[in-house]
């Protein structure tokens, strides 16, 4: 008998292998008292920190962007195993998507969301997908150079439409490819 089988036998013998439910207790509620809550005034004050950020996020964003650019460059060279490269790209991408929106750069967050959804849909990195990622990186640099942070500005809308257009073209090409095969 293997060690783990032996262990399993002991667990079964004592009934430990049966999942046990531990009933939840309202310990945190008991600590803060019955009526304490986060008030709308507190939420409003906290929201101001997000809406009017004092901290500059651009350094972190550009650092994440250079990680993506480095991974794109390496992936072009790598023709046999691109699965590990996928994670190297998607993690900093999700960081920009998540955090740019917490620091007032809604446009960078929106552009990152477009690309994140695109990559999460296909979960593959062919050369066309890498080209799209290249467009994305240029677009993010542009948002910081021109200080375009708003999704509703004319410039912001133009950049977002261009990115959506290249993603749409990829989708159409992919669909045709599937139909042919």
Partner 1 sequence: MKELTVLVADDSEPMLEVMVAILNRFGFGRILTATDGEQAFSVFQRYKPDLIITDWHMDNIDGLELCRWIRRNKHSVNRSIPIILMTGFSDYARITSARDKGITEIIIKPFSAEDLAKRIMHVIDVPRDFIESLGFFGPDRRRRKIDSPVADDRRLMEPEEKS
Structure tokens at 118: 């695109």
Q: Residue 104 — left, alpha, or beta (φ > 0 → left; ψ -120 to 50 → alpha)?
A: left
Instruction: Please pick, from the candidates 102, 128, 153, 172, the single residue that binds partner 1 as defined by CB under 8 A.
Output: 102
- Closest CB to partner 1 among 77 and 87? 87
> DSSP string of 79-113?
-S--HHHHHHHHHHHHHHHHHHTTTT-HHHHHHHH
Would you say 130 and 179 are in contact if contact means Cβ atoms under 8 Å apart?
no
| Tokens coding 109 | 């967050």
| Binding segment toward partner 1, per CB under 8 A, in 110-118, 126-134, 145-153, 166-174 | 110-118
3-state DSSP assignment of residue 71: helix
CB nearer partner 1, residue 79 or residue 152:
152
Task: Please list every residue from 117 through 136 that binds partner 1, using CB under 8 A.
Answer: 117, 120
Q: Residue 25 or 81: which CB sits closer to partner 1? A: 25
Q: What is the residue whose two structure tokens read 């809604």?
A: 106
Both structure tokens of 177: 């490819």
Q: Which stretch binds partner 1 (CB under 8 A): 24-32, 127-135, 142-150, 173-181?
A: 24-32
Give the residue, chosen from 6, 17, 122, 126, that forms a contact with partner 1 under the rule CB under 8 A: 17
Q: Of residues 13, 15, 21, 79, which one binds partner 1 by CB under 8 A?
A: 21
Residue 151 touching partner 1 (CB under 8 A): no
Stretch that binds partner 1, among 8-16, 69-77, 78-86, 159-167 (CB under 8 A): 8-16
How far is the C-alpha of 148 from the C-alpha of 38, rounded, in Å? Answer: 34
- How many C-beta atoms lie closer than 10 Å to residue 122's C-beta? 13
Q: Please report, as residue ranges, which positions from 25 to 54 form the binding site for partner 1 (by CB under 8 A).
A: 25-29, 31-33, 36-38, 42-47, 49-50, 53
Could you give the CA distance from residue 69 to residue 64 in angstroms, rounded to a whole number? 9
94 counts as binding partner 1 under rule CB under 8 A: yes
If binding is defined by CB under 8 A, does position 24 make contact with partner 1? yes
Q: How many residues bind partner 1 (CB under 8 A)?
A: 52
């Amino acid at each position: 008998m293997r060690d783990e089988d032996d262990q399993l036998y002991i667990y079964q013998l004592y009934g430990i292998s049966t999942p046990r439910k531990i009933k939840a207790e309202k310990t945190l509620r008991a600590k803060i008292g019955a009526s304490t809550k986060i008030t709308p005034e507190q939420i409003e004050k906290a929201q101001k920190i997000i809406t009017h950020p004092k901290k500059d996020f651009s350094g972190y964003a550009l650092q994440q962007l250079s990680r993506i650019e480095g991974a794109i460059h390496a992936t072009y060279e790598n023709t046999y195993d691109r699965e590990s490269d996928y994670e190297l790209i998607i993690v900093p991408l999700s960081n920009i998507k998540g955090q740019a929106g917490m620091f007032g750069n809604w446009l960078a967050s929106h552009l990152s969301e477009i690309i994140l959804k695109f990559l999460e849909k296909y979960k593959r990195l062919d050369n066309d997908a890498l080209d799209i990622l290249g467009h994305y990186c240029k677009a993010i640099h542009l948002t910081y150079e021109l200080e375009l942070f708003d999704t509703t500005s004319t410039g912001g809308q133009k950049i977002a439409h261009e990115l959506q257009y290249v993603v749409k073209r990829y989708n159409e090409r992919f669909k045709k490819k599937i139909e042919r095969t």
